[in-house]
Amino acid sequence: MSVELKNDRPPENRTAKRLDTEVLYESPFTLKGRVRSFRHAAGGIWFVLRSQHNAWLHAVATVLAFVLAGALHVFVRPFTWGQWCVLVMAVAQVWVAETFNTGLEVLAAAISPDRHPIVKIAKDVAAAAVLMSALGAIIVGAILFVPPLAELVGRLVTAP
């Protein structure tokens, strides 16, 4: 069942239901349920990795960023806890954006297998979120890595 949208506006006869007065899903807390939830989440991560080419680029960038940070930490100057935290948050932000983007793309394909201008906008906006988070991570990487790399180059140039 699909709803045809005209003039980029939802149909007038649609009303929102109040969700705060109904229990949509009730499930007791169990260890087995939590393990199942983690299994589903791991399946989602695996789906992103095997289906998205950009996820492989993010994976390579993630490994390179942490290897470079570790090398600079050992051979040039130690990174502070704050620097490590900022690096982890920047990397996590990119992965979260990529994962949400993939989820939106899959949901959009299920809802509207044919091209639809509104679905295209939603997918473009989600892709823009990934791009913005990746650019932010590059800026964080530059702030964290350029000074110690410049120090390393300076040491190598002035070494006898």
Question: Which CATH number goes with the domain that contains 44?
Answer: 1.10.287.3610
The pLDDT of residue 160 is 81
Residue pair 55/105 in contact by the 8 Å Cβ criterion:
no
d(CA 85, CA 107) in angstroms, rounded, equals 32
Instruction: Give the number of domains in the chain.
Output: 1
The pLDDT of residue 9 is 55
Q: Which two tokens stand for residue 42?
A: 């791991």
Which residues does the annotation mark as catalytic? 98
Residue 131 lies in a domain: yes
Which residue stretches of the chain have pLDDT < 70?
1-26
Residue 104 lies in a domain: yes
The pLDDT of residue 5 is 47
In which domain, by residue range, is 77 found? 31-158
Residue 5 lies in a domain: no
The pLDDT of residue 52 is 95
Where do the H-state alpha helices sit in 1-160?
31-51, 53-75, 81-111, 117-158
The pLDDT of residue 6 is 52
Residue 13 lies in a domain: no
Residue 82 lies in a domain: yes
pTM over 0.75: yes
Residue 79 lies in a domain: yes
The pLDDT of residue 25 is 64
Q: What is the DSSP letter of 6?
A: B
The pLDDT of residue 28 is 80
Residue 124 lies in a domain: yes
